[in-house]
């Protein structure tokens, strides 16, 4: 799977809106300007596993450590907001 290069978004304090699709057939990440990043993960949405998988995939696409992304809102929702610290 080839991830898009989101390194230009790696600005401290940036807030990235995300729409997560858990339990997908394959992992994918789609980013378009002006809309939330769409992330599909293969894990099930229980105990925050899908949120962690989405954070890891987003961090990989941005070329940053996953610990730099903080979930601001959406822990139990498909629509999430991550902040880059």
- Please report the pLDDT score of residue 52 as a whole number: 97
> Within a domain: residue 21?
yes
Number of structural domains the chain divides into: 1
Burial code (b: 16+ CB inside 10 Å, e: under 16) for 26-52 equals ebbbebeeeebbebbbebebeeeebbe
Residue ranges making up the domain that contains 62: 7-84
Strand residues in the chain grouped as ranges (E): 15-21, 28-30, 37-40, 69-73, 79-84
> Within a domain: residue 60?
yes
Is 68:56 a contact under the CB 8 Å cutoff?
A: no
Over residues 30-47, the pLDDT tens digits come to 999 889 999 999 999 999
pTM greater than 0.85 (yes/no): yes
Secondary structure (3-state) at 3: coil
- Please report the pLDDT score of residue 57 as a whole number: 97
Average pLDDT, the chain: 96
Identify the CATH number of the domain in which residue 42 sits: 3.30.1200.10
> Within a domain: residue 36?
yes
């Amino acid at each position: 799977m080839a991830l898009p290069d989101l390194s230009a978004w790696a600005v401290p304090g940036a807030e990235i809106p995300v729409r997560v699709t858990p339990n997908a057939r394959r992992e994918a990440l789609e980013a378009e300007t002006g809309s939330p990043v769409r992330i599909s993960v293969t894990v099930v949405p229980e105990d925050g596993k899908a949120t962690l998988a989405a954070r890891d995939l987003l961090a990989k696409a941005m070329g940053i450590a996953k610990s730099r992304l903080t979930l601001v809102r959406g822990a139990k929702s498909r629509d999430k907001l991550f902040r880059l610290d």
